[in-house]
Amino acid sequence: MNITLQDISLASFPEKISIKEVSGGRVQVYMYGPKSYSNQLAVITHYLHNPNLTETYPREQAKKYLKEYLEYNYPQAEITESVLKESLQADLFNNFFQIPFPSPIDYHFTFIDLFAGMGGFRLAMQAQGGKCVFSSEWNVFAQKTYLANFGEMPFGDITKEEIKKYIPKHFDVLCAGFPCQPFSIAGVSKKKSLGKETGFKDKTQGTLFFDVADIISRHRPKAFFLENVKNLISHDKGNTFKIILSTLEELEYSVYYKVMDGKNYVPQHRERTMIVGFDKRRYHNNEHFEFPQPSNIHRKLRDILENNPDKKYTLSDKLWNYLQQYAEKHKAKGNGFGFGLADLDGISRTLSARYYKDGSEILIPQNGINPRRLTPRECARLMGYPDKYIINKVSDVQAYRQCGNSVVVPLIAAVSEQIIKTINNYE
């Protein structure tokens, strides 16, 4: 039987992803059948959003994956070449483009989004007129949130060569909120004691930072923008950060770094290390970059609160009693551990990825009843995400985790603005 475009319904194509937890807390993802297709939707959506930009998502590969999808859903149909050719047009995939945060049509630069999480870097860079040409994120729940907001499924584990091959050859800015892993300097010290030089692969092998450095080395973007925890600078008595800086400088990039607090942009104390670099071969150390100056605006936690939050976010008597007893026990020992009852006219503590467990670091006081957790929407607001951002495609637990691992969007946007301004001023 022949099939025509009128016979095909792809309205629910992105929703064909099912995520199942299996033994040991592991997760299995099925895209549209009994077999796992972890990167097929990534290939198709990246191609649809970047049909004229990228040489690494050939039409034939996208058609191959689409054909597998159609053959699974229409087993009696003959999937002709004309169907595959026409079905790659955007009008058949409107659901990938009817999204809260589409890429700018008249973009001014391109960037890639590594360790993308829920897309904070992407929001910030798109606000500067940038177009994302590659994204990756290994967490399947974060992938689902990212897809809902940007119409693009991020590729998976960026440490794998099979994923790296999809990165376009040319792009302007690399963005990465990479996780911090321990660095071993024993091998480096030994080589130096023998009078041998070491390359960046020797220094950083086995860490996620190595994969970032590797991509910078291969593609040589105009600039990079990395974000990490405040303690990155002091980790291992400063040795970790020393290796990071020396590695980036060895790649011939001028490097700027600064610890910045999100409280200047949202009502949350959240210190993070910002690392920015520019290609010395292109700019010759003449780029004149400066980090943005913090504003003097007083942020209030009450400004991000919902008017009528669901009662399920109010702590049970059992949990509230436990938290109070726990705090008293540590107070008696002279420790500072305990819950954080927030000042609604001030700023909150740092939101963590473990917030879903008991919400203890940020509790909202309520008149006459137990305090409550922040809702997922309030957590998204606390990280600077606008209300049209879709946060409910995953469970509350996963939404809390994603927000706790996210960047502060307006802070990233402020630094991004300075990066793009620096590039434009030079060029």
223-229 and 173-176: which strand pairing?
parallel
Judge whether 43 and 119 are in contact, CB under 8 Å: no
Q: What are phi and psi of 11, to 5 degrees?
A: -60, -30
Angle between helices 40-49 and 59-73 (to 10 degrees): 130
180 is catalytic: yes
271-279 and 223-229: which strand pairing?
antiparallel
Does an H or E element contain 170, and which? none
- Give me the sign of the Cα torsion angle 99, 105, 108, 114: positive
**Residue tagged 């071969």 (tokens):** 281
**Residue tagged 């904070």 (tokens):** 120
Angle at 267 between CA 359 and CA 118, to 5 degrees: 65
Cβ within 8 Å of residue 357, ≥6 positions away: none
What the block records as the tokens of 309 is: 């939050």
**Residue tagged 């551990």 (tokens):** 337
Rounded to whole angstroms, the maximal C-alpha distance in the chain is 78
Nearest C-alpha neighbor of 203 from the set 217, 218, 184, 216? 184
Q: What whole-number distance in Å separates Cα of residue 51 and Cα of residue 89?
A: 10
Q: What whole-number distance in Å separates Cα of residue 264 and Cα of residue 250?
A: 33
Judge whether 212 and 178 are in contact, CB under 8 Å: yes
The active-site residue, picked from 132, 175, 180, 403, is: 180
Radius of gyration of the chain, Cα coordinates, nearest whole angstrom: 24
Q: Three-class SS of residue 17?
A: coil
Active site residues: 180
